[in-house]
A and B are shown apart, each in its own frame.
Chain A
Amino acid sequence: MKNPILRMAILVLVAVSLVAGSFLSARAQETITLKIEGVSGPEVKWLNETVKPAFEAKMKAEGKNVTVEVEEFTGTGQDLRQRYTLDIGAGVGGDILSFDGFWIPDFAEAGLLKPLKTVVGEEVMQWEGWAKTPAGLQAILAYKGEIYGYPRGTDVRVIWFRKDLLKQAGLPENWQPTSWEDILAAARQIKKALPEVTPLQLNAGKAMGEASTLQGYMMALLGAGHHIYDFENQKWIVRSEAILNTLNLYKTLFAEGLSEPRFQLTQDGRDQSFLAFKEGRVAMLVEGDFFWRSVLVPGGTNPASMADRNEKVAFAKMPAMMPGKGFNGQDFVTISGGTGYVINPNTKHAKEAWALMQVMFSKESFEALQALQPRIRPRTDVPVTGDAVMSALAADVLPLTTVRPALPTYSKVSEQVQLMTEAIVTGDKTPEQAMEDYATAVEGIVGKENTVDLK
């Protein structure tokens, strides 16, 4: 090849084909990134160390290059919900979102979430996991018969107490009240023996958001005789003796100094109450089992993590106001929430996202998660193991449970509950006034025809 022009031409050709070739092969090997948002606690570790490698290897075997990115979120539920509202509304956001079940009706009605069948396709119903998941648990992330996601588990609410403090106050370590009067008597006894200790924390007020409604108000109201909503007649109960009794319980707690207003009114009051429990400044605290397995858990990342949790903490079932007077005539009451994961309808990789969900919610993955954090899982083939307290909750408390009404108006009604309880804590209103204002506000939200007064 003497001809310099020819040589040049060949060089150029080789260079171009090299560049083009690498470009094309890069196209074929294009990496899809799936982002999981809103994750907290041990699930971050689980997703990164168990799910991610398993899923990426599975995809590689199918000839796809998919990576998983996990974003930890440590803010409050309200913050997360606000972020999803704005992100999804703006057409962006992660591919898979950690989601609270009670947000579903709102988001579904607003068109911000779509059923899995719509986002992914009919094939979602062929997944083996559905057959292993009881209908009640499938319903956690469902609305009007459509499934929007899959739950990580469900929970129950009880009274957590410090065995050491109760003992110092002369109460048994296996304390189990059977009426509100028993709770108040114990609280007074603690206050007398340990004046520095706040006897009982029952959530109230706007600052704690949904935790005030679910862990505080509902736990008392169910014990006073009825639910927030009459499921049979599909009406919100806005005036009743039980609501008044519930508000009077709060009034007694704060009037007698058995509860600490600071926890109810300041911005990070819920975290303060957790920390105070750990430090022995709160004796009894009504919370979901998340408190046991995620907040107090020895070696956990929460500031309230307790190395000696198992020796010092126990639970008692929440009693009805009087035996047999609870919701459905029960002696003890509880209520469940549930959270899980949904697929963001804005995702560009719905099929891959669903493939990732299937890996996350396989029996094997759940078992790995169960080793990190034992709790009540949605799959019947993944029992609670390795934690006697969680097993006891599943066996003794879960059968008593009920859930919140899955209605888009629920969160607005819940805000009114928060304001109503706050007015009792601050002493702004009498229980009668607070209930009347609540009733008027709820009538405005859902329409008077959808409410009912009970005598």
Chain B
Amino acid sequence: MNRTPILSRPVGLVFISPATLFILAFLIYPFISIVLLSFTNQGIGPMYGPNTRFVGLQNYAELLNFSRWMNRGQLGWSLWITAQFVVGSALIGQAALGLSIALLFQRRKGFLRELVFTLAITAWIMPDVVVAFAWFAFLDPFRGTLNNILGGLGLGRPDWVLDHPLLSIVIFNTWRGTAFSMLLFSSALASIPPSFMEAAEVSGAGAWRKFRDITLPLLRGHIATDLILVTLWTFNTFTPYLITGGGPASKTLLVSIYTYETALQFNEFGKGSAVSVIVMLINLILALVYLFSIRTRRAAV
């Protein structure tokens, strides 16, 4: 069959040019600019101003100086905290909890389901500053709601942000983002034909067997998508800054906060850009690992 394109090539180029320009201006240009800045000693003052010098790989050498990079407040320290935060709040928290809720309410209707879904989605769609402020107040050791409840039940009044800072932001981020995984998994579960389950039941399969042999294989692609997205979002989230400021004593210094602190609080824009480039590479690797794992699974199937 002779396929005639709807648009001629030049007309097609005209049509994609706005999108291309947009991407160039807002994605490619900033990206190149950040990479260039990361090779300079840019401090406060105009970008590439008279005090800005090319310093080669010095910023990277400082950041990746392995004799001290695990020290409090350094890049390695910050990456380690971020890793714990991602495993705690994205993988165990959001993805596992979201999947559990979705399974719990699989093919069920009623008030409880509506209540849980509504609350989870509300937590997800509210603006960052609003929820951060609410949590800041919620966790206050003296007047906060949480400690008033715990204290009332005789469970003590822990100083959450001071003594359990990482746990506090892990719980916060789980609360904040579970809705996405929950929605994704419940719509995926809804797409599994009921006849599969019925056939399995007829053959005498228990709940665990049904989950392992039917639900899990059919959800695999969704799980991979969910993990990529929540990991990347959690890796880059900045909202915990509004609750802990990265402290106390750098105990919640997520890599996003470390970048912000280096560039905008300590005014080392060159070094901050170098951190951004490193973070960008880590994100890229994470995304590739997940994409690759989906491919191999698809190939295996």
Contacts and interface: CB of A to CB of B under 8 A. Distances in A.
B45 A110 contact: yes
B72 A428 contact: yes
A267 interface: yes
Nearest to A267: B245
Contacts of B51: 109-111
Contacts of A206: 247, 249-250
Contact of A422 (B45, B50, B249, B264): B249
Interface string B126-148: 00000000000000010000000
B265 A261 contact: no
Interface string A257-281: 0000110011100000000000000
Nearest to A427: B249
A274 to B, nearest CB: 15
B44 A106 contact: yes
A39 to B, nearest CB: 22
A78 interface: yes
Which residue of A82, A107, A425 has the most chain B CB atoms within 10 A of its CB atom? A82
Interface size class of B (residues with CB under 8 A): 20 to 34
A17 interface: no
29 contacts: A85-B264, A89-B44, A89-B45, A109-B51, A110-B43, A110-B49, A110-B51, A111-B45, A111-B46, A111-B50, A111-B51, A112-B45, A112-B46, A206-B247, A206-B249, A261-B248, A265-B248, A265-B249, A266-B247, A267-B161, A267-B244, A267-B245, A267-B247, A412-B266, A419-B73, A425-B249, A426-B249, A428-B72, A428-B249
Contacts of B45: 89, 109-112
Interface residues of A, number: 27
A205 interface: yes
Contacts of B266: 412, 415
Interface string B1-33: 000000000000000000000000000000000
A308 B146 CA distance: 33
A286 interface: no
A423 B250 CA distance: 11
Interface in A49-91: 78, 82, 85-86, 89
Contacts of A112: 44-46
A236 to B, nearest CB: 18
5 closest pairs, A vs B, by CB? A110-B45, A265-B248, A267-B245, A426-B249, A110-B44
Contact of A265 (B43, B73, B162, B267): B162
A422 B250 CA distance: 10
A207 interface: yes
Given A106-B44, A262-B159, 7 more contacts: A85-B44, A86-B264, A89-B44, A110-B43, A111-B45, A111-B46, A207-B247
Contacts of A207: 245, 247-248
A411 B47 CA distance: 20
A233 B237 CA distance: 47
A274 B202 CA distance: 70
A229 B263 CA distance: 26
Contacts of B248: 207, 261, 265-266, 426
Interface in A83-111: 85-86, 89, 106-107, 109-111
Interface string A240-271: 00000000000000000000011001110000
B122 to A, nearest CB: 26
Contacts of A107: 44
B45 to A, nearest CB: 3
Nearest to A205: B249
B215 to A, nearest CB: 43
Interface string B222-260: 000000000000000000000011011110000000000
Nearest to B50: A111
B41 to A, nearest CB: 12
A260 to B, nearest CB: 10
Contacts of A86: 264
Interface in A198-220: 205-207
A372 to B, nearest CB: 31
Residue of B50, B51, B247, B266 ringed by the most chain A CB atoms within 10 A: B247
Nearest to A426: B249
Nearest to B242: A267
Interface string A215-231: 00000000000000000
Contacts of B162: 261-262, 265-266
Nearest to A91: B46
A412 B265 CA distance: 11
A106 B44 CA distance: 8
Interface in B72-95: 72-73
A8 B102 CA distance: 77
Nearest to A423: B72
Contacts of A106: 44, 267
A423 B266 CA distance: 18
Contacts of A428: 72, 249
Interface in A166-195: none
A109 B265 CA distance: 18
Nearest to A89: B46
